[in-house]
Structure 1
Amino acid sequence: MIPVSRRLFMGGTLAALAAGSFSGRALADAGPALRIGTKLELNTLDPHFFNGFPQASSHSLIYDALLLLDDKLRPQPALAMAWKNIDDLTWEFELRKNVKFHDGTPFTADDVIATLARVPKVPNSPNPFTQFTRTIVKTEVIDPHRIRFHTDAPNPTLHMDMARVFIVQQKFATASTEDFNSGKAAVGTGPYKLVEWVNSDHLVVDRNDGYWGPKQPWARVTEKVVKSDAGRIAALLAGDVDAIDEIPAIDLPRVRDDKRFHVATGPAATIHYLAMDAVREKSPFISARDGQSPLKGNPLSDRRVRKALSLAINRKLIVDRLLDGLATPASQFLPAMFDGTSTKLKVDPYDMKKAKALLTEAGYGNGFKITLHSTADRYPKDKDIAQAIGQSWTRLGIEVEVQAMPGTVFFAQASKQEYSAFLAQYGTEEALIGPRVLVHTTGGIYGTANRTRFSDAGLDARIEKAQTEMDPVKRKKYVQEAIEASMEEQAIIPILHPSWLMGSKTGVTITPRPDRRFNALMMKPAKA
C-alpha cells in the first residue's frame, strides 16, 4: 500500500492530487480514475467513531459490513452470505469464505467478534454505534465462517443493524481512533485501499484488485471536500472533477442544459427536523420577551406550544422558495413511499390563527424569547431554512434569534444539551429507526441521537413494542402506531425531506441512493 500521509496537500490541481505517486501512464494502464467534489466532510477514518452519513459514505469504500443495503435500501449479502432466525433471541450468520483484508489477512468470525467488542469502547463518539450492537449479549462461533448472535430481547431488525457496522481486523480491534486516522489501522476488506487522507480535505483510495466482490471500474478515486457551493460548481464546469453533490438550485439550469453534463436526483430517506427542549423546567435559551420578567415554566414542555410552533411553519413556502421544489414537506420521519411509514399522517398545515390560539390556550399569548440553533454548512440551505422558521415564529408573536454555526461545533454543543431548540437532519434505512433513535428516552439502543433528552413513557412503550415484535405483519402495524404517536406528541417537528441533486460529466453515470451517500460505489463509466 502507498504510505499514508496526513499532510495538507499544498497547491496543485485536483488532477495532480488524483494522480498521486502514479505516473499518468501507470494510472491509465490501471484503469480510469474518478475525481469527485463533495460537501460531505470526512473527519475520521475510524469506522466506529461517529455514526454519521459523511463517514459512512467514505468508509464504505474501505470497509465492509456483514450486509449491505442496495440503492432501494434492501439488505444484500456482503461479508455474510446468508442470515436467519434460529429463534426469537438468536440470529445465525453464514460468513463469506476466501475474503482477505487489504494486508492479506483472512477474514473470519473472530474479526466479527472483535469488532462488536470494540464498538462500545470507542471514546467520545458524538453518535455511537452501540445502538446497532447493544441487544447482542452473547456471540457464539459455530465454525470460522458461521456465527450466532444471542440477544437480550427479540430484535427483528438485527440484520439491518449489522449493515451499519463496518468490520475491522481482529488485530486492530484495540487500536485507537488515532491509529485509524494515521492509516495504521485503516485496513478493511472493502473494494478500495487507503492511499492518503487529510482530515476534512481529501481522501485518495486505490482499487482493491483482491476484492471478494465485483471488480470496481475506477483504478483510483479522489474525494475532495469542497464545502462552497460555488466552488463545487466551478470545479465541475472547469473539468477539475468528474462529479459533484448538492448542486445549488440556482445553478441547476446551467448544468442540466449543458450537454457535457448529466444531472441525477432521487428521494431521500432523511428528515430535516426541529428538536425542542421539552424536558427541563428551565431551558437555557428561553426567557420572557423583555429578557427580564419571569416566565412561567418552560413553554416547550407544553405540547400545545410545540404544536403551535409547527403550525406556524409554512413548509411549502420553504420548499418552493428556498429549495426550488427540491424537497417535500414532511409529516413524519421518512417519506411515505418507504415501507412501514404511516399512511394516516398529513403534513401540518400553515395555520397561524390556530397556532396563536394554541399559544394563548397554553398561557403564552404574549409570546416569549427563544434562540433557534442550526448548522451553517451541513445541509442545503440549512441556515436559510432556520431563518425562515425564525421569521414565521416572529409572526406568531415570539421573539426569535437564529444562531447558525459549523457542524463540528453544533453537534458537540447539541449533544451536551446546550440548546433550547435546534434544526438538524437524520437519515435512516428503516421506518422504526427514527422513533427509536430520535425520540425514545435515552438508554441502551434507544435515544442515541435524542440530544434534547425528550422522554415520554407511553411513547417509549409503543416504540419498544414495535422493536421487539418478530411477526412482520404485526410489527408493521406497531411501527406505524409508534410513528403516529411520535407526531401526535410533537416529539420532534418534521420540516421536510430533501431530494439529493448530483451532477457528473457525460462519461460518468450516477445511481442515486435514498440514504445520504456520494461515493464511487454509486458511479460507473457511462456506456458509449
Structure 2
Amino acid sequence: MGAGALSPHCPVSRRAALGLGLGGTAAILAGPRAAAQGAGVPRRGGHLRLAGLAGSTADTLDPARMSVANDFVRGKSFYDGLVALDDAMVPHPALAERLDTDDFQTWHITLRRGVTFHDGGPLTASDVVYSLSRHKDPAVASQQRIAAQQMRDIRATGPLTVEIGLVGPNVDFPAILGMDNFAVIRDGTRNFSSANGTGPFICTGFQPGIRTTGRRNPDYWGAAAWLDTIDLIAISDDMSRHDALLSGDVDIIGSANPRLVRLLRTRGFGIMESPVGTYTDLAVRLDQVPGNNADFVTGIKYLVDREQVRDSVFLGFARIGNDHPIPPEDPYFAADLPQRAYDPDRARFHLKRSGMSGKDLAFFCSPAALASVDIAVLLQYAAQRAGMDVGIRRMPVDGYWSQYWMKMPMSFGNTNARPSADMAFTLSFSSQASMNESRWRDPRFDALLLQARGERDDTVRRRIYHDMQAMVRDGSGVCIPAFTTSLDAFAPQVRGLRPNRAGQLMGYGFTRSVWLDDGGTHR
C-alpha cells in the first residue's frame, strides 16, 4: 500500500498519516445526545417528508451545480462519490474501493465491482473520468471548478481503475473527492431533468422550486436505506416551515429557528444540535465603492458585535468567529490569533475618516442566507450609533444567490462547512476562486496555499495555516461573526439522526440513515 493509501480497513490511520486529526468534535459525536437520538431498533418502511429552507427555479439535479441545502439533500440521496466523509469529516472509501499514492500528486483509484446506476448500467472508469473532467469545463458552471483545476490529468487505466495526476502534491486530495459536487454520474449525461446515480434512492419526481420525490433503490451497492420513499419540499418562510412540522404535514425540517427550540421541545419534537463550520458572513467588495476604502472596511469590522450575534441572533447556538473561515473545532484553528472585538469608538473613527457618510449604502440580505436579516439589523443600528446611515435591502429567497450575492457592494453569504482547511481557503479566498466574495487577492496567500497542500510535516502545515488565517482576518473584506450550531427539528417517530460536522441534516445525508419507528403510518 502506498504512502497515501486509503483503504476500507484503515480510514482513520490514513487520515492521521496525512495530518488531518479528528479535532474537538469527536467527543461531541460520541456524547449522550448522539446516542439518545439514535436509540431503538431500525425499521424498514415508511414515507418521510422534509421541508428545507431554500428552493427556487434554480434547483438542480446536476451534482456539479448543487449550491444550496436542498440541492445537497437531493445529491446525497441519488448519487455517490468516490469518497464519503463521515460525521467527523474523515474520508472513507465509497465508490472507490482504494486510493493509492506514493507522492500525493499521482493518485490511483480502484473502483468497486458490481455497482450499477439506477438505469441498470454498470459503474466503470469512463463514468468517473467524465464526472470529474466536466468540472473543468466553464460551460458546466461547476461550483467546484477551482478545486477541479488541481486535477491536471484524469484517465482510465482499466475498466475499473483511474489515474489522477494533480498539478502539485495535495495530501488532502481524498477530502476533495468527498465533496458532494464530485458525485459520479453516467458517462455523457447532459440531461438533469431526473437523476441517474448510484445512490440509495431513485428519483421519481423533480419539480424545481416545488418538490422532489424518491424511492429506495433495491439494488444499492451499500447499506440499504430504511425508508421506502422520501418527499422533499422547500418552505422559505420561517414560521410556515415550523408550522408544517407542528401540524404533522412534514416529519423533519432543516434550519430550525433557535427562538422556537424550546416550543418544539415542549411539544415533544426532537432537536439535533451539530456544531459545524457553516457561517453567515457579510462580504464588502474591495473592488468598488465603498469597499475600496480601507478605513470603511475596517470600520465595518469593528461594528460587528460577535457576542450579540451569538446570543441574540443564534441564542447561544453558535461559536464566536474571527473573520476567517476556520472554525474553533478544526485542528488547524489559530486559537492564539487576537480576537477582533466590537469597538464602536474605533469604528466611528475609521468610518468618519472614510468619508462615506451621506453615501447611498445598503446591506443586501435575504432569508436565503441564514440569519442574515437579523444580523443586518444589528449592524444597521451599530452603524447609526457610529454616525453612519446604512440601509437594509431584504431580498426574496428566489433569485438572491444569482442576482444579489457577490454582485452588490455589501451582501450576506452563507458558506457550508468544508472538509479541510485547504478547501476553506481555496474555494472562498484564493485569488481565482469563483466564490471569493470580497474580491480579495493576495499573491503571498496563494503561494502559501500551494505550499501547504504539499507539506507532509503537520507542524509546518499548522504554522502556514495559522498565517493564512491572520491574512484573511486582516486583509479580506469578509466579516465572519460566528459559526453556527446546525439545528434540525424532527417529529417523535423519526429516529437515527446524529450530529455531523459537515452541516445540517447529517451533512445533508440523513435519508441514508434515518427510519420511522411507527413504520411510516404517521401522516
If asked which structure has higher relative contact order (CA below 8 Å, sep 6+), I would say: 2
- 1:129 aligns with 144
- 1:357 aligns with 349
- 1:455 aligns with 441
Partners of 1:91 and 1:148 within 8 A in 2: yes
- 1:314 aligns with 305
For residues 106-136 of structure 1, the C-alpha deviation after alignment (integer angstroms, 9 at most, x for no partner) is 10111101112222336373x6221232111
Q: Do structure 1's residue 108 and structure 2's residue 124 form an aligned pair?
A: yes
Q: Find the residue that maps to 2:64 and give its secondary structure.
A: coil
Q: CA deviation at 1:470?
A: 4.0
Q: Do structure 1's residue 35 and structure 2's residue 25 form an aligned pair?
A: no
Partners of 2:326 and 2:332 within 8 A in 1: no
Q: Which amino acid aligns with 1:385?
A: I
- 2:372 aligns with 382
- 2:410 aligns with 421
Q: Find the residue that maps to 1:301 and give its secondary structure.
A: coil
Partners of 2:245 and 2:251 within 8 A in 1: yes
- 2:10 aligns with none
Q: CA deviation at 1:203?
A: 0.9
For 2:276, which of 263, 268, 290 is the aligned residue?
268
Mean alpha-carbon deviation: is it higher for 49-58 or for 196-205? 49-58
Mark the runs of 5 or more structure 1 residues left unpaired by the alignment.
Answer: 1-28, 287-299
Mean alpha-carbon deviation: is it higher for 468-477 or for 41-50? 468-477
Quick one: percent identity of the two aligned structures?
21
For residues 31-67 of structure 1, the C-alpha deviation after alignment (integer angstroms, 9 at most, x for no partner) is 2221122214271111112444432222111011100
Q: 1:203 to 1:69 in 2, by over 3 A?
A: same
Distance 1:142 1:359 in 2: 59
Distance 1:120 1:407 in 2: 29
Partners of 1:196 and 1:205 within 8 A in 2: yes
* Superposition pairs of residues 284-299 of structure 1, within 5 angstroms: 286=290
Q: CA deviation at 1:88?
A: 3.8
Per the normalisation by structure 1, the TM-score is: 0.82
Q: Which amino acid aligns with 1:136?
A: M
* Superposition pairs of residues 14-413 of structure 1, within 5 angstroms: 31-41=45-55, 43-121=59-137, 123=139, 125=141, 128-164=143-179, 165-172=182-189, 175=190, 179-180=191-192, 182-183=193-194, 186-259=195-268, 261-280=269-288, 283=289, 286=290, 300-331=291-322, 332-359=324-351, 363-364=353-354, 367=357, 369-413=359-403
- 2:464 aligns with 478
- 1:516 aligns with 503
Distance 2:477 2:455 in 1: 23
Distance 2:345 2:380 in 1: 17
Q: Which amino acid aligns with 2:468?
A: A
Q: Find the residue that maps to 2:89 and give its secondary structure.
A: coil
What is the total number of aligned residue pairs between the two structures?
Answer: 466
Q: Find the residue that maps to 2:271 and give its secondary structure.
A: strand
Distance 2:385 2:454 in 1: 44
For residues 236-293 of structure 1, the C-alpha deviation after alignment (integer angstroms, 9 at most, x for no partner) is 222222111222233222211223x21111112112212112134xx2xx4xxxxxxx
Q: Find the residue that maps to 2:415 and give its secondary structure.
A: strand
Distance 2:51 2:61 in 1: 18
Partners of 2:438 and 2:478 within 8 A in 1: no
Mark the runs of 5 or more structure 2 residues left unpaired by the alignment.
Answer: 1-42
For residues 395-426 of structure 1, the C-alpha deviation after alignment (integer angstroms, 9 at most, x for no partner) is 222221111213443322346x6321111111
Partners of 1:370 and 1:398 within 8 A in 2: no
- 2:15 aligns with none
Distance 1:314 1:379 in 2: 19
Partners of 2:84 and 2:178 within 8 A in 1: yes
- 2:455 aligns with 469
* Higher-Rg member (1/2): 1
Partners of 1:439 and 1:491 within 8 A in 2: no
- 1:18 aligns with none
Distance 1:85 1:195 in 2: 39
Q: Find the residue that maps to 1:48 and give its secondary structure.
A: helix
Q: Which amino acid aligns with 1:39?
A: L
Q: CA deviation at 1:90?
A: 0.5
Distance 2:350 2:448 in 1: 27
Q: CA deviation at 1:352?
A: 1.0
Q: Find the residue that maps to 1:41 and give its secondary structure.
A: coil
For residues 115-165 of structure 1, the C-alpha deviation after alignment (integer angstroms, 9 at most, x for no partner) is 12222336373x622123211111233322222111112222221111120
Partners of 1:136 and 1:150 within 8 A in 2: yes
- 1:290 aligns with none
Q: Find the residue that maps to 2:139 and give its secondary structure.
A: coil
Mean alpha-carbon deviation: is it higher for 329-338 or for 59-68? 329-338
Q: Which amino acid aligns with 1:190?
A: G
Q: Which amino acid aligns with 2:184?
A: I
Q: 1:370 to 1:213 in 2, by over 3 A?
A: farther
Q: 1:95 to 1:368 in 2, by over 3 A?
A: farther
Q: 1:402 to 1:247 in 2, by over 3 A?
A: same
Q: 1:433 to 1:370 in 2, by over 3 A?
A: farther
- 1:21 aligns with none
Distance 1:304 1:205 in 2: 52
Distance 2:236 2:177 in 1: 31
- 1:26 aligns with none
Partners of 1:88 and 1:470 within 8 A in 2: no
Q: 1:90 to 1:414 in 2, by over 3 A?
A: farther
Partners of 1:440 and 1:460 within 8 A in 2: yes
Q: Do structure 1's residue 438 and structure 2's residue 455 form an aligned pair?
A: no
Partners of 1:202 and 1:223 within 8 A in 2: yes
Q: CA deviation at 1:170?
A: 0.9
Distance 1:131 1:522 in 2: 31
- RMSD of aligned alpha carbons: 2.4
